[in-house]
Amino acid sequence: MLELKNIKTFYGNIQALKDVSIEISEGEIITLIGANGAGKSTTLMSICGIVPPRSGEILFMGKPIQDMAPNNIVSLGICQVPEGRRIFPFLTVAENLDMGAFLRKDKDEIKRDIEYIYELFPILAERRNQAGGTLSGGEQQMLAISRALMAKPRLLLMDEPSLGLAPLIVKQIFEIIKKINTENKTTIFLVEQNANMALKVAHRGYVMETGRVSMSDTAANLLANDEVRKAYLGI
Amino acid sequence: MFGFEEIKKSFLTSLWFMFLTFPIMVIRVNTVQNIVEWRWERMFMIGIGSFFLSFLWRYLLERKELGQKKADLGEVDSIPWNRRIAREPRFYIPALIAICVFVLVFPFTFSLYQTTIMITALIYVITGLGLNIVVGLAGLLDLGYVAFYAVGAYSYALLNYHFGLGFWTVLPIGAGMGLIFGILLGFPVLRLKGDYLAIVTLGFGEIIRLVLENWNDFSFGPSGIANIPRPGLFGIQMSLHQATIYLYFVMIFLVLVTIFVVRRLQDSRIGRAWIALREDEVACQAMGIDKTWTKLSAFAMGATWAGMAGVVFAAKTTFINPASFTLWESIIILCVVVLGGMGSVIGVIFGALTLILLPEYLRAFSEYRLLIFGAVLVVMMVFRPGGIVSPERRIYQFKGTAPDKPKAEASTPG
């Protein structure tokens, strides 16, 4: 579904991604783990076109998208849950969800999707008139995920959904991620620091180190791998 | 609690003020008789005055903080008065009728002078609403807004001078010129954010003014262009008084059109994109909003209204020169938006009327009027930082039990 071929991305003169190649097939949950500054978020930003790669190819459904504008990439069905949630703090929960459906014009479908979201996260239904900024961290993360789902993505990119959340909430979020994948057949590309959690829900995983993919395997194999265990699981 | 401590503080403040003003208020050297007059009674008055003002200030601040605390705890049971008026038909229908009647009879009951300053205020309502799109909705700080206003005014003046075009023909042309200039400026500068954008727009505003001032062959330089005709009505000859009243109603009409369009814009897709852009750019991009185009459209829309207002301004004063389009004008328009309440249409109208009419009616206080004007601004910003009317959050009504169908604002596609 999505294929990254030898992506090189720069911030000014600093090379953040040195030859990254990743492949994601339809219906999978793929996770990308690695230490701080390994280039995980940059990979997502490159896919989205917010920080386009300087060289290499990104193919989505066989079509190159690396030169497209971010809004056109979203309209293809790639949607991001940005790092640190980045909900709209002064818009209400309902308005935030509306923004997620910005590119859609099918009103009835949108309504149905909103109801689905409220079923998925009943707490958001309760708080739909509350400004996004007044929600707790966990609720904000749920809102950020919901907002992305409102775009009806075929591929959902998630950047550290567990950032700054209590373990119990993290568990809940990961359950939801799994649910989204199985119920909607949404392909999910998950970038995580919490390697343990991420590898448990994912089918396959990539390990990143200083701008390069250093390892790739099935999630189960990675969980069992000694190096990974030592470096990222702290066991 | 409000007790002894506050009284003591106010007392110390009054002592300090008595000391500070002592040399200028109490001592007077009479140079004719060569004696020094000691006006002790003045010191006494300053003492009492500053004591009460300081006490009042402290009291109001205290009240405001208490209110804030209550609001944070969600203990506010009564809706603020302005919301209540806006929501209940038995309040807002009479209010609306009263405003309509007032607007209709205003030019016939009040003097020509009053009508003229009201027209000025209405011009600021339009420019304020235009700038509100840029600053209030899209969050782009534009300090060179008056440049587009100048573009509109000069469009009318020059097109009339060279080609004899009338007000109604030039009105859309002026708006179009504003739009074009908005896009021209917008393209290069919209990569910038916040302070940088403000500086660049400030520079642009000054460039336009300096070009108009120095390009004599084109704009007649500082001497300006005179004898610009007032708006016509099927070629009927009108006296000055009649023409002013006519212009007043033209303005009322334009204000209504502006309000209508701005409200529709606010509720449209593009309006929501502007608001979202103000809040978080990265999230906007992740949602598939075209950042450049959205910013550019906000900038261009704002400039369009400025261009239109400029045409009216030229028609009203019948004489324009670059001195009317200084940085001070941009700042006043920005004040209208900020003081009135960023993002709120009614707020901006209130803001324009207050800011433009207040200095006029304060003429009675002659040399103190700017002092009072400044004091009002400071007090307003301390006690109502959100502006006179802060924008109302959209309320979603639900009938029956949740989960219910939200009355989505998506029902007004752009």
Phi, psi of B174, rounded to the nearest 5 degrees: -60, -45
Residue-wise pLDDT for A27-78, tens only, equals: 999 999 988 888 999 999 999 998 999 999 999 999 999 999 999 999 999 9
Q: Cα B71 to chain center, whole Å?
A: 28
Buried b (16+ CB within 10 A) or exposed e, B310-333: bbbbbbbbeebbbebbeeebbebb
Per-residue pLDDT, B188? 85
Any idea which residue has 């775009």 for tokens?
A151
Question: B54: alpha, beta or left, given left = phi > 0 and alpha = psi -120 to 50?
Answer: alpha
Instruction: Please enumerate in sequence order all residues whose Cβ is within 8 A of that of A84, keeping only pairs 6 or more positions apart, or say none.
Output: A160, A163
Return the pLDDT at B409.
41
Tokens of B134: 């840029």
What's the gap in Å between the CA of A180 and the closest CA on chain B?
18
Please give the residue that has the higher pLDDT: either A204 or B108.
A204
B248, burial (CB in 10 Å: exposed 0-12, middle 13-18, buried 19+) = buried
- Determine contact: A69 vs chain B, CB below 8 A: yes
Residue of B nearest to A76 (CA): B288
Share of chain A above pLDDT 70, in %: 100
CB contact, 8 Å: A95 with chain B? yes
Q: What is the pLDDT of residue B176?
A: 95
Distance from CA of A159 to the nearest CA of B (A): 12
Distance from the B134 Cα atom to the nearest Cα atom in chain A, whole angstroms: 18
Question: A92: which chain B residues are within 8 Å (Cβ-Cβ)?
Answer: 393-394, 396
* Token output for A172: 């809940």
Q: Which of B133, B181, B111, B194 is nearest to B325 (CA)?
A: B181
Does the ipTM surpass 0.85?
no
The residue ranges of every structural domain in chain A are 2-90+151-233
The DSSP element (H or E) to which B294 belongs, if any, is: helix B291-317
Residue A173 vs residues A5, A160, A168, A188, B288: alpha-carbon distances, Å: 30, 11, 9, 13, 24
- What string of pLDDT tens digits covers the 414 residues of chain B? 567 888 888 888 888 888 888 888 888 888 888 888 888 888 888 888 888 888 888 888 888 777 766 666 555 545 556 666 666 777 778 888 888 888 888 888 888 888 899 999 999 999 999 999 999 888 889 999 999 999 999 999 999 999 988 888 999 999 999 999 999 988 888 788 778 888 999 999 999 999 999 998 888 888 888 888 888 777 677 788 888 888 999 999 999 999 999 989 988 889 989 989 888 888 888 888 888 899 999 999 999 999 999 999 999 998 999 998 999 899 889 988 988 888 888 889 988 988 888 888 877 776 777 787 788 888 888 877 777 776 665 555 444 444 444 444 443 333
Chain A interface, best mutation among B284, B287, B289, B297, by max A CB count within 10 A? B287
In chain A, the percentage of residues whose pLDDT exceeds 90 is: 59
For residue A90 the two structure tokens come to 């002064």
Residues 6+ apart with CB under 8 A from B190: B140, B197, B292, B295, B296, B299
Three-state SS at A186? coil
Which pLDDT band holds residue A141 (cuts at 50, 70, 90)? Answer: very high
Domain A2-90+151-233 sits in CATH 3.40.50.300: yes
Which stretches of A34-106 are DSSP H helices?
40-48, 70-76, 93-100
Which of B290, B395, B408 shows the shortest C-beta gap to A71? B290
Asked if A129's CB is within 8 angstroms of B279's CB, the reply is no
Mean pLDDT throughout A178-196?
Answer: 91
Provide the shortest C-alpha distance from residue A139 to chain B (in Å).
17
All residues of chain A having their beta carbon less than 8 Å from the beta carbon of residue B282 are: 50, 82, 86
- Contact (Cβ atoms closer than 8 angstroms) between residue B148 and residue B300: no
Look at residue B253 in the predicted model and tell me its pLDDT.
Answer: 93
User: Which residues neighbour B206 within 8 Å (Cβ) at sequence distance 6 or greater?
Assistant: B144, B327
Across A76-89, average pLDDT: 90
CA distances in angstroms from B138 to A90, B162, B275, B367, listed in the order given = 13, 37, 6, 38
Nearest to B207 by CA among B108, B88, B330, B122: B330
Residue with tokens 């011009």: B123
Candidate CATH numbers 1.10.246, 1.10.3470, 3.40.50, 1.10.10; the one for domain B112-383: 1.10.3470
- Cβ count near B213 (within 10 Å): 16
